[in-house]
């Protein structure tokens, strides 16, 4: 019998993506269409523009994915689509498309939590076993979780204000670096002095595993205002970015070190630490986390860069995991703007908490 293949669809933000992944962890095709040029003038993603772009591009991407893999819709074992969290308009485009394919071709539907897609990516790339500690860092989320199984997540910490990716975007906007901000700040930081500006390390040394990046972002803004027009000079801009990036990485390391201790209390034999999400592509953060993992005796797994950001391969793989357990959804599955991985977690103290 042929290895089951799942079609994955991802439309939660500004990446339109389709992918075909089989049960042996092979990515057969994974075309993706970005929207940076559509949102660059606004300095961030405009939900209505994103949803319209998904609608115009998705059917062609699915057709391309099937063509590249040499398959038809009748060859599939199921169809998986991101159902949340994310921008509701984009989610509806992807989920309704998946429901239509499911209905017409009598295929199992798998409504996937986008965060679970990130959480399970390391099982796609490295076939790791449960449990493991996960740091999920992206434009909208910054969380530490223990991954105990498919659908079984214990949140240890989350952001009480901005997510790290959001802070990168806002710093990039302050310095006229364009959108998306994460890669732009990293490029600008090359050759900069990470010790020139004494930016704060939010919550460092405090109890718990929650994050905060609003104060760090504000400190960068004060430094930019103090420099005036000179802030945009290449040397100053490089030093600002390098100093911000260093402060952010040290903050993440401090919070993660505490999460490692809690992980080991609960799972003494646990030996794997995973970092996932768009910000996991940042080299400075990866380097800092690699040092932390080595110092604490953990194996660090970071997905390849093309699987760090939003992608449909992780959605297809999450579909494979759920289909194998019989966790199939019906056509009433809703799109959800918010969808926490651990619904039992206590709310973090502070406004603007990302679920």
Q: How does pLDDT run across 127-160, given as a tens digit for each residue? A: 999 999 999 998 788 999 999 999 999 999 999 9
Integer Cα distance of 99 and 332 in angstroms: 9
Location of structure tokens 């005036």: 228
Task: Report residue 98 CA to chain centroid gap.
Answer: 21
Higher pLDDT, 351 or 318: 318
Encode pLDDT of 1-46 as tens digits: 479 999 999 999 889 999 999 999 999 999 999 887 888 778 778 8
**Architecture (CATH level 2) of domain 130-306:** 2-Layer Sandwich (3.30)
pLDDT tier for residue 354 given thresholds of 50, 70 and 90? very low
How is residue 234 annotated by DSSP? H
Integer Cα distance of 252 and 213 in angstroms: 10
CA atoms within 13 A on the CB side of 121: 31
Q: Is residue 349 scored above 90 in pLDDT?
A: no
Integer Cα distance of 91 and 84 in angstroms: 7
Class of domain 5-120+310-324: alpha beta
Integer Cα distance of 74 and 67 in angstroms: 13
Write down the pLDDT at residue 353.
41
Mean of the per-residue pLDDT values of the chain: 94
pLDDT tier for residue 210 given thresholds of 50, 70 and 90? very high
What's the whole-number mean pLDDT along residues 232-260?
97
Q: Is there a contact between 31 and 9 (Cβ–Cβ < 8 Å)?
A: no
Q: Which helix (H) or strand (E) holds 324?
A: helix 312-324
Write down the pLDDT at residue 133.
98
Encode pLDDT of 79-138 as tens digits: 999 999 999 999 999 999 999 999 999 999 999 999 999 999 999 999 999 999 999 998
pTM of the prediction?
A: 0.93
> Structure tokens of 256?
């993660």
Query: What share of residues in the chain are helix, strand, coil (percent, to 5)?
Result: 50, 20, 35
Percentage of the chain exceeding pLDDT 70: 98
Q: Domain map of the chain by residue range?
A: 5-120+310-324, 130-306
Integer Cα distance of 139 and 106 in angstroms: 35
């Amino acid at each position: 019998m042929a290895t089951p293949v799942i079609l994955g669809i991802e439309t939660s933000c500004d990446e339109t993506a389709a992918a075909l992944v089989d049960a042996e962890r092979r990515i057969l095709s994974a075309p993706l269409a970005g929207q940076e040029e559509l949102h660059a003038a606004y300095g961030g993603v405009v939900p209505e523009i994103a949803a319209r772009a998904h609608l115009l591009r998705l059917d062609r991407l699915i057709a391309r994915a099937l063509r590249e893999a040499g398959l038809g819709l009748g060859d599939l074992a199921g169809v998986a689509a991101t159902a949340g969290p994310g921008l509701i308009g984009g989610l509806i485009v992807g989920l309704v498309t998946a429901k239509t394919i499911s209905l017409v071709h009598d295929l199992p539907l798998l409504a996937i939590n986008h965060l679970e897609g990130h959480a399970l990516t390391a099982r796609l790339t490295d076939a790791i076993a449960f449990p493991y500690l996960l740091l999920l860092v992206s434009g909208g989320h910054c969380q530490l979780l223990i991954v105990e199984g498919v659908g079984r997540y214990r949140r240890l910490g989350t952001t009480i204000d901005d997510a790290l990716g959001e802070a990168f975007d806002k710093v990039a906007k302050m310095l006229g670096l364009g959108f998306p901000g994460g890669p732009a700040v990293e490029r600008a930081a090359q050759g900069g002095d990470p010790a020139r500006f004494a930016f704060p390390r939010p919550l460092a040394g405090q109890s718990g595993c929650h994050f905060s990046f609003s104060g760090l972002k504000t400190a960068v803004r004060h430094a930019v205002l103090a420099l005036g027009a000179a802030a945009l000079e290449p040397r100053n801009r490089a030093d600002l970015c390098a100093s911000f990036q260093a402060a952010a990485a040290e903050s993440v390391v401090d919070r993660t070190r505490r999460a490692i201790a809690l992980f080991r209390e609960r799972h003494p034999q646990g030996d794997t630490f995973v970092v996932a999400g768009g910000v996991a592509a940042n080299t400075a953060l990866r380097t800092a986390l690699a040092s932390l993992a080595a110092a604490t005796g953990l194996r660090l797994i970071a997905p390849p860069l093309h699987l760090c950001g939003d992608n449909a391969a992780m959605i297809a793989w999450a579909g494979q995991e759920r289909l194998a357990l019989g966790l199939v959804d019906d056509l009433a599955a809703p799109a959800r703007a918010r969808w926490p991985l651990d619904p039992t977690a206590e709310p973090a103290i502070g406004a603007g908490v990302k679920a």
